[in-house]
Amino acid sequence: MSSLQPVRGTHDLLPDDARRHRRVEEAALAAARRYGFGEIMTPIFEFTEVFSRTLGETSDVVTKEMYTFADRSGESITLRPEGTAGVARAFISGGLAQSLPLKLFYRGPMFRHERPQKGRLRQFHQVGVELLGVESPLADVEVIALAWGLLNDLGLADKVRLEINTLGDAESRAAYRNTLTAYLSEFRSSLSEDSRARLDRNPLRVLDSKDEGDRRIVENAPLMTESLTPSAREFFDAVTAGLTRLDIPYTHNTRLVRGLDYYCHTAFEFTTTALGAQGTVLAGGRYDELIAQMGGPRTPGIGWAAGVERLSMLAGDVADQTRPVAVIPMGDPLAAMAVAERLRRAGLAADLGYSGNMKKRMARANKVNARFAVILGEDEAARGAATLRDLDGGTQDEIPLAALEDHLRRLL
């Protein structure tokens, strides 16, 4: 029965995977807090227009990837493919314009109907931040510094590189649009069908095409940097000067554009060569017109999102920090459970095997990576005591049961 398989592109996270996954999320939340960001939780589904009107009608996400359905009242609903549009919607519907600047962190599942591959799923998870209400390039520097801080905390500084570009302001983009349209029109018949459609509706999107033929044409296209207005150039220079001042290494990639429509000025990605084709681990940019486009008060914004699966693959494993105490009954199993319960109520992690001889139980203590074993032999029990064995050092002592929690707490 196919319905007993997980849906293609979705995964169960078993405890080891879930631990790696949570570690990335917790690191991201901790880093965000250091920079003054608070967590926001928005629904995982929204009215379809929240995404279709903001991400861009010609974007891959909107044209091919959204999980859209009519709910029982006939409303068109979409499972969120990304986090920014929902946060912007919450900003508007919650009337948050009074509390600017606003620094928000989010995490959770996202949904895109893509071709599943390593690092490319249909339900995946992101952590992300949005900084709303700050026009200054200092905001761009600050959110990039936060991203860099997180990647450092995860031990990834040597595995990623920051690429940054500018998409300019509206005037720069209008000028560039003309230059680019003129160039691409010469190759119209060689472009992919998708890109021919994009050429008429949103030529910048062609720069983001994944089609091989398109990429060859795009390689020689004129650069955005050549169409920048002086003030857009000044803005970009301020961002890169800030990064230099904070010792954050970057490369100016003049070909970098982002896949969603709402970006302006700063666009950036942290990429790696260690994950094959799925090399972007964290990406973001500035979106000064997004909230106005959605019908809210014009509010500048900048943010990024990172793929938790990609980050956790890259960061690899870390041992579970909490090592339990193994409680090993030799006689009455309920007496052992009572001891384990006392340790647990005292805030210690205790592991209790359900059956087996001493040898089996010691093997289990090893498997759960226990630091100590509490062995409840009949003789000690009669004296109201237990044997405490140090599983790393191999030494053991008899400890009165009444003093067990305090003793262990001192040792752990």
Residues in 293-322 at the binding interface with ligand ATP, rule: CB under 6 A: 305-307, 309-310
| Segment near ligand ATP (CB under 6 A); pick from 215-223, 278-286, 288-296, 373-381 | 278-286
Tell which one of 28, 50, 180, 281 touches ligand ATP (CB under 6 A). 281
Stretches 116-124, 183-191, 239-247, 320-328: which one binds ligand ATP (CB under 6 A)?
116-124
- Could you tell me the smallest distance in angstroms from the CB atom of residue 119 to ligand ATP? 6
**Are the CB atoms for 115 and 3 separated by under 8 Å?**
no
344: amino acid identity, one letter: R
Q: How far apart are CA 168 and CA 171, in angstroms?
A: 8
Inter-residue long-range contacts of 333-338, CB under 8 Å, 24+ positions, other chains counted: 335/376, 335/381, 336/376
Nearest distance from C-beta of residue 403 to ligand ATP, angstroms: 51
- Rounded to the nearest 10°, the torsion over CA 112, 113, 116, 117 is -40
Least distance from ligand ATP to the Cβ atom of residue 310, Å: 4
Q: Write down the least CB distance from residue 82 to ligand ATP, Å.
A: 5
Residue type, 400: P
Torsion angle of the four alpha carbons 259, 261, 266, 267, in this order, in degrees rounded to the nearest 10:
0
Binding window for ligand ATP (CB under 6 A); candidates: 113-121, 156-164, 169-177, 340-348: 113-121
Residue 120 engages ligand ATP in binding (rule: CB under 6 A): yes
Q: How far is CA 263 from the centre of its chain?
A: 19
20 within 8 A of 317, measured Cβ to Cβ: yes
CA–CA gap between residue 374 and residue 390 (Å, rounded): 9
Q: Least CB distance from residue 126 to ligand ATP, whole Å?
A: 5
Please tell me the count of residues contacting ligand ATP according to CB under 6 A. Answer: 19
Nearer to ligand ATP, 301 or 353 (CB): 301
Minimum distance, C-beta of residue 167 to ligand ATP, in the bound complex (Å): 14
Virtual CA dihedral for 106, 107, 110, 115, nearest 10 degrees? 120
H or E stretch covering 67:
strand 67-70
CB nearer to ligand ATP: pick between 119 and 242:
119
Comparison of 194 and 309: residue with beta carbon closer to ligand ATP: 309
Query: Segment 63-102, which members bind ligand ATP (CB under 6 A)?
Result: 82
Radius of gyration for the alpha carbons in the chain, expressed in angstroms and rounded:
27
State the residues that interact with ligand ATP by CB under 6 A.
Answer: 82, 112, 114, 119-121, 124, 126, 259, 278, 280-283, 305-307, 309-310
